Amino acid sequence: MTLIQIIVLALIQGLTEFLPVSSSAHIILGSIVFGWPDQGLVFDVATHLGTLLAVLVYFRKDLVEMLQALVRPVKTGQDRRHRAMAGYLAVASVPALLIGGLAPDIVEMYLRDVRVIAWMTIGFGLLLWLSDVIGKNNRSFDDFSFRTAMLVGIAQTFALIPGVSRSGITITAGRFLGFVPHAAARFSFLLSIPIIAAAGGYGALRVASGEAPIDWSQFTLALLLSAVAGWLCIAAFLALLRRVGLLPFVIYRLALGIALFWFLS
């Protein structure tokens, strides 16, 4: 990979990983526009680790509080909420980890097609819009339960299809369940931690087994750029969500899907 390719794709990955706009669609579109070959396994591992670092740093306070609630006796209602949230995130992660672990090659062989990505980008963009239109705003972050967490976790399995967007489908599910946009997004970002960690860990094992050589300078650059971009993306999205809502991201998804079809024609 060239330096320009590393910089552009790492920034794209970091900026789109947490937005409801499909990072895979952007990576594909970037490769089409610039005529770049597939970025390869090592780059994928580096950017997964970078975006994982971003979400861990941004939500470090929440994560520390949940960890403390798990390892020490529960004394307050806040401790109970933190312990329960850790359990909800664990439960919600199971469906996607299970299906992704059982059928990783199916996605690679049959679903990484630009037409599939374009249709998913448009279709699930419209679903995001529908959830925001008819979804109520009567639940906050503290209102998550075993049932709602599991439903969001089941919805997350659709993100294994490129173009769906992991954050997009989990926020969509949260909005259909009546959670305010900010609460749905916050749960979505926390839920990304085990999924990104699993994807990065699986890729790292493949690299360690000798499947792909590592250029450590390129690896480090991609990791750092995606981490910084990911952190900025989370901060900006949560701030903008209160002001502009989800409609701009719906419009963007529709435009992106149309652009993918246009490049195919």
Beta bridge partner(s), residue 203: none
Q: Helix 3-16 vs helix 41-58: angle between axes, to the nearest 10 degrees?
A: 40
Beta bridge partner(s), residue 179: 139
- Which residues touch 27 (CB under 8 Å, ≥6 apart)? 9, 12, 13, 39
* Structural domain count of the chain: 1
At residue 139, φ and ψ (nearest 5 deg) are: -130, 135
> Residue ranges of the alpha helices (H) in the chain?
3-16, 23-34, 41-58, 60-71, 77-102, 104-106, 114-134, 146-156, 166-176, 181-208, 216-244, 247-264
What is the pLDDT tens value at each position of the chain, 265 positions in all?
Answer: 788 888 988 998 898 889 998 887 787 777 777 777 767 777 888 888 999 999 999 999 999 999 999 998 888 889 899 999 999 999 999 999 888 777 666 655 656 678 888 899 999 999 999 999 999 999 999 999 999 999 999 999 998 888 899 999 999 999 999 999 999 999 999 999 998 998 888 788 877 787 777 778 888 999 999 999 999 999 999 999 988 999 999 999 999 889 888 887 7
- Nearest one of 265, 256, 258, 261 to 12, comparing CA atoms: 256
The range of the structural domain enclosing residue 92 comes to 3-264
- pTM to 2 decimals? 0.91
Cα→Cα distances 48→60, 200, 202, 253, Å: 18, 5, 10, 22
